[in-house]
Amino acid sequence: MNFLKGLLNFLVLQHLLLQLCSSLDTIKFDQPVGDGDFLVSKNETFVLGFFSPGTSTNRYVGIWYKFSEDLVVWVANRDNPINGRSGVLSIGSDGNLVLQANTSQGLVPLWSTNVSISSASNGNISAQILDSGSLVLAQQGSQDVFWQSTDHPTNILLSNMKIGLDRRSGINRFLTCWNSDNDPGTGNVSLRMEPNGSPQLILYKDDAKWWRSGQWNGIQWGGIPAVQRNVVFKINFVNNQDEIAVQWTVLDPSIYSVITIDGSGTLNQLSWQDQQHQWVSLWSAPLDACDSYGKCGQFGNCNPYTNSGFNCTCYPGYEPTSPQDWDLRDGTDGCKRPQDSLSMCRNGEGFVKMKNVKVPDTSSIKLENNLSIVACEEECLKNCSCLAYASADVRNGGTGCMTWYRDLMDTKQFTEGGQDLYIRVDAVVLAQYKNKSGGGYFSGRRRLAIILVVSISVASLLILAVLYWFRKRSRKGRGGEPRFLKDPAASGVRSYEDLPIKNEVDEHRGDTDLPFFDLTTVVAATENFSSANKLGHGGFGTVYKGCLADGQDIAVKRLSRNSGQGVDEFKNEVMLIAKLQHRNLVRLLGWCIHKEERMLIYEYMPNRSLDLCIFDKNRKSLLDWRKRFQIIIGIARGVLYLHQDSRLKIIHRDLKASNVLLDGSMNPKISDFGMARMFRDDQIEANTNRVVGTYGYMSPEYAMDGLYSTKSDVFSFGVLALEIISGRKNSFQFENTSLNLVGLIWDLWTEGKVLDIIDSSLNQSYSTHEVMRCIQIGLLCVQENATDRPTMLDVVFMLGNETNLPHPKKAAFSFKTGGPDSSMSRGASSVNDITVTVIEAR
């Protein structure tokens, strides 16, 4: 009898276990989920259960990745938390999924799927967590889905989820951020599909437009040229009578990637790095100042690549609405047409093309998909209210027609990507732009005026040339050379008649558009290279402060005859810097060659070089943490421009503290491009037998093998960032086997004591979290293996965004004894107040 009773109990228990195992991913009518229970998707990708975010004690029902519990991808009761662990998630009597709290007043409903389900189906309803991350409410054994969590996203977009409007059901899918890390409640930032006009994604903050993707141009979102279909993921955009939505799909099932928004107004694409066990940011928006909606107001174009410090320009034929605000670097009031401009209604007007732009907000445009671009121009021209037009689809040379009739807002300039926008202008402006492009037309009176001006100019130039020739001959008859140098030998000039470089000016003046300064001007500006004007000295020569006749301060780098920077390096620096324009690069004003004299004329930096500040115990206190952080970011942006955003792809090869100059506001400017090298767009690295640079800043692959790439500059930047944080120089000598700065910081990092390295002059006036992030970014840049180091684009993003950072691997040169192969011969010369070490491999 006892045996039969035991057997019966065993069979009942086995039945219950089998029933439980069969529903590990499912909630059935008679199987609710309580706090402490979990559902796991079939392939164990996602988990559904109760959780408490951050430091909160409130309980919520959510879904997260099984391998990453800290990333909750969906929350049911985000605005109705449970106080305590009394929550129960079950199938209600009406077939809906309902969350209730067991209180002293009984079960209190806090959340429900709240859909209409026929009573005939109620007993067969279940909710299942799928490997896609979706919680689905459906009839068992049927394909009918009554409700799914992916139609009601919170702050995260998973692969295959949609954003947009389902016109059949009326469901509008959009993301909203959490209130905070401790509160998943509906926040003030949302990402929504704007269905009007030509559809686009818009990020709202406090119900105001914050950022927009640009319209779908047939290939990608027009305002995000860097994000497009590739072998990893694809973007599907649908706009038909059933829905208007975009679906983002990861093609490789082994890759986990999500798109998130947060309360700061940032859109992030994250990817799970299994080796590092963390989420890493791949892309984010807004990316720069010009991504801020309406940065330059109506009819204003924002260019993030300008070197003037001000991003805004007006459309062709427009002028600033408030010139005073414009002068104060505030372009939010935008632009307007001048009062004296001609009518643009059947009065000879036309269109001027703006190339490579994110076209203005398309919310209120007129869209006609069947028109060609030629027909689009005709359509806009015959309607006097039409202000601009562009192709709706950039494929096949451009098809479809978008026309604007209201203020044009939020235009951004790209160097690559974007599309053409055609702006309506009056007849005068149209003629001006046609003339600039070489296709202008002139009235008889205007043509005559131009001929007269050209004739007079040519005659004047001929007269000046003759006078210059006579003056030169007369000076040669009196001994030829100028007599303003007090002591030519002391100045490194000697007897000019005997020098080997006599015709440098004639050979090289035509190689660049950069202004040429004659020696007389430079000597006058520097008061004959007075010792009182000397700013610095090294093996390359001397830098002097000067003042031109118009009052402009300049810095003159005067190369000595024995300079490590020879004629080739001199020409290299002139040719390179003449093509570079960025707010964080020093501006080259001109150059001078006279016989053996070679000089570069720069803008004057009143605060001299960075090393004179951070390594001087009296001056380093001038740089608080906020200023140091801005200097680190400025240097990073300057190097990013060299690597990616300039017309040339440039490796600096000598980035260090003495080659970073500080202007009057302590803004950093990278200088000294004598050692820089240009790369092709498709070139990854190069090799040299002549290694130039400075020990302590050289990457190991460059110092040892002569291999240099953009990752060489990344290494130098990392060293420089750590120096700025610590206020210490990364001295590196083969004869001295003591631990260098990088090695010291690496050891402190592994011991959890890295805050000990922070410059004591900061006096605790810094954000510990921010400093720790910068140290971690610095260590990522100085990793031994070049492939492990981030790109400068990654660095700029990490510095400007609160994202999870990878854990750095061992830093290069972090040894306490020994050194590199002593079979290398070492020599030293100097460039721009710095020691340049030349290694020639035997």
Q: Which residues are catalytic?
A: 654
**35's tokens:** 């706090």
Taking the C-alpha atoms of residue 733 and residue 737, their distance in angstroms, rounded to an integer, is: 8
- As annotated, the binding site includes 557
Taking the C-alpha atoms of residue 639 and residue 656, their distance in angstroms, rounded to an integer, is: 12
Taking the C-alpha atoms of residue 152 and residue 171, their distance in angstroms, rounded to an integer, is: 8
DSSP class per residue in 599-648: EEEEE--TT-BTHHHHT-TTTGGG--HHHHHHHHHHHHHHHHIIIIISSS
Contact 694, 835 (CB under 8 A): yes
SS (H, E, C) 704-754: HHCEEEHHHHHHHHHHHHHHHHHCCCCCCCCCCCCCCHHHHHHHHHHHCCH
Taking the C-alpha atoms of residue 459 and residue 528, their distance in angstroms, rounded to an integer, is: 36
DSSP state of 199: -
φ and ψ at residue 680, rounded to 5 degrees: -70, 160
Taking the C-alpha atoms of residue 92 and residue 89, their distance in angstroms, rounded to an integer, is: 9
- As annotated, the binding site for ATP includes 557
**583's tokens:** 């707010």
Residue type, 692: V
Q: Note the residue count of the chain.
A: 842
Q: Are strands 411-413 and 419-425 parallel, antiparallel or unpaired?
A: unpaired
**Sequence-separated (6 or more) residues with CB below 8 Å from residue 525:** 546, 547, 548, 549, 554, 556
Helix (H) or strand (E) holding 75: strand 68-75
DSSP state of 216: B
**Sequence-separated (6 or more) residues with CB below 8 Å from residue 536:** 542, 543, 608, 609, 832, 833
DSSP class per residue in 579-591: T---TTBPPEEEE
- Which three-class secondary structure state does DSSP give residue 205? strand
